[in-house]
């Protein structure tokens, strides 16, 4: 009789342990499944389908002006055009006076809004008093911290003019975002509304083909996230955008047609590069829907894929980079 009781007790323990293990296994599976479901279906559906068709943030209600840095080409110019199309008056901040005048005219005649320009070279750090004065008294609804530069594609030690370039990169990609935010945010906090969009990059996760650029973009993502978390209940929307490859002059500087061909870049250009116009039309819809995203559904999946590849991508790219 005792033997039967002991056997039953052992079975009960085994059953309990087994079911505990089973519960753990099911919980792990559920966790994995919800993670995969979230990243592959829910987020793309929400940001790049629902956000496109449902009414988003009414930017005109946030103020009169949109300020865009690096606004005479590529992504910045497309943000300026899209915001003008939404009825906002535009302040273009960039370095080339002739390009500023041309884009200002294009936007004025194309969208019938007021346009102001500020000539500023963001490689310099003595420009912010001038920008502050020019923005004084403007009711700013939106700030797009877009200005950015990159280096040639190479391994770290082969980066051309590494020292000089690093100072410029930090000033243009990091200092500009920090200082422009510091200039505009107090005004937005006071009225408890406004939008700040910070252009980082998928390279912020780590791209050894442009190590210094990648590091400055990691800064951009982090400062944007920290400021967003600090002021999340203030009524001001602060968004980080981490694009993949967009067809702009910047990409062509890093990867000129006469550069040695790199398999990784050729494939990235062929399969994942989109026009600045297509990119911004998608990214602008995500304002108010996400604090941080890639801006376009294709780049969302490029990002997932490159994160899955991890170190293997480094090994492959190192083999391809010009010596």
Ligand X SMILES: NC(=O)c1ccc[n+]([C@@H]2O[C@H](COP(=O)([O-])OP(=O)(O)OC[C@H]3O[C@@H](n4cnc5c(N)ncnc54)[C@H](OP(=O)(O)O)[C@@H]3O)[C@@H](O)[C@H]2O)c1
Residues annotated catalytic, as ranges: 213
**Cα–chain center distance at 94:** 19
Size of the site for ligand X (CB under 6 A): 29
Query: Cβ of residue 254: shortest distance to ligand X, in angstroms?
Result: 9
Residues with Cβ < 8 Å from 103, sequence gap 6 or more? 71, 72, 77, 80, 92
Nearer to ligand X, 8 or 252 (CB): 252
CA 212 to CA 189: how far, in whole Å?
Answer: 33
Among 68, 196, 246, 262, binds ligand X (CB under 6 A): 246
Burial of 299 (0-12, 13-18, 19+ CB in 10 A): buried
H or E stretch including 230? helix 211-230
CA 67 to CA 46: how far, in whole Å?
Answer: 27
CA 34 to CA 26: how far, in whole Å?
Answer: 12
Nearer to ligand X, 61 or 270 (CB): 270
Query: Cβ of residue 101: shortest distance to ligand X, in angstroms?
Result: 12
Among 43, 44, 68, 74, binds ligand X (CB under 6 A): 74
Among 46, 64, 95, 281, binds ligand X (CB under 6 A): 95
For position 248 contacting ligand X by CB under 6 A, the verdict is yes
**Cα–chain center distance at 310:** 20
Task: From 156-164, 186-194, 248-256, 261-269, give the range in contact with ligand X by CB under 6 A.
Answer: 248-256
| Beta bridge pairs of residue 68 | 92, 144
Binding mask 119-158 for ligand X (x = CB under 6 A): -xxxx----------------------xxxx---------
Nearer to ligand X, 113 or 131 (CB): 131
Task: From 115-123, 136-144, 182-190, 230-238, give the range in contact with ligand X by CB under 6 A.
Answer: 115-123
| Beta bridge pairs of residue 69 | 93
């Amino acid at each position: 009789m005792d033997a039967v009781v002991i056997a039953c007790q052992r079975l009960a323990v085994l059953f309990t342990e087994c079911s505990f293990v089973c519960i753990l296994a099911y919980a792990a599976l559920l966790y994995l499944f919800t993670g995969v479901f979230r990243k592959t279906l829910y987020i793309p559906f929400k940001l790049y389908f629902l956000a496109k068709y449902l009414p988003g943030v009414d930017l005109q209600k946030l103020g009169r002006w949109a300020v865009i840095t690096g606004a005479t080409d590529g992504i910045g110019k497309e943000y300026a055009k899209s915001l003008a199309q939404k009825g906002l008056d535009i302040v273009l901040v960039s370095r080339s006076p002739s390009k500023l005048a041309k884009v200002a005219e294009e936007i004025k005649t194309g969208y019938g809004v007021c346009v102001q320009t500020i000539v500023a070279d963001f490689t310099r750090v003595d420009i912010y008093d001038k920008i502050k004065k020019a923005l004084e008294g403007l009711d700013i609804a939106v700030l797009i911290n877009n200005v950015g530069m990159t280096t040639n594609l190479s391994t770290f030690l082969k980066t051309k003019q590494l020292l000089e370039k690093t100072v410029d990169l930090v000033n243009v990609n990091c200092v500009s975002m920090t200082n422009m935010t510091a200039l505009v945010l107090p005004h937005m906090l006071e009225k408890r509304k406004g939008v700040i969009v910070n252009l980082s990059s998928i390279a912020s996760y780590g791209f050894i083909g442009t190590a210094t650029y990648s590091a400055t973009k990691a800064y951009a993502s982090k400062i944007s996230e920290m400021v967003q978390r600090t002021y999340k209940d203030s009524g001001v929307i602060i968004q980080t955008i981490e694009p993949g490859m967009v067809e702009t002059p910047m990409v062509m500087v890093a990867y000129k047609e006469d550069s040695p061909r790199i398999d990784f870049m050729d494939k990235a250009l062929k399969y994942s590069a989109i026009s600045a116009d297509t990119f911004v039309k998608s990214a602008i819809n995500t304002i108010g829907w996400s604090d941080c995203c890639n801006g376009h559904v294709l780049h969302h999946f490029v990002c997932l894929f490159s994160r899955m590849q991890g170190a293997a991508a480094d090994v492959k790219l190192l083999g391809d980079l010009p010596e």
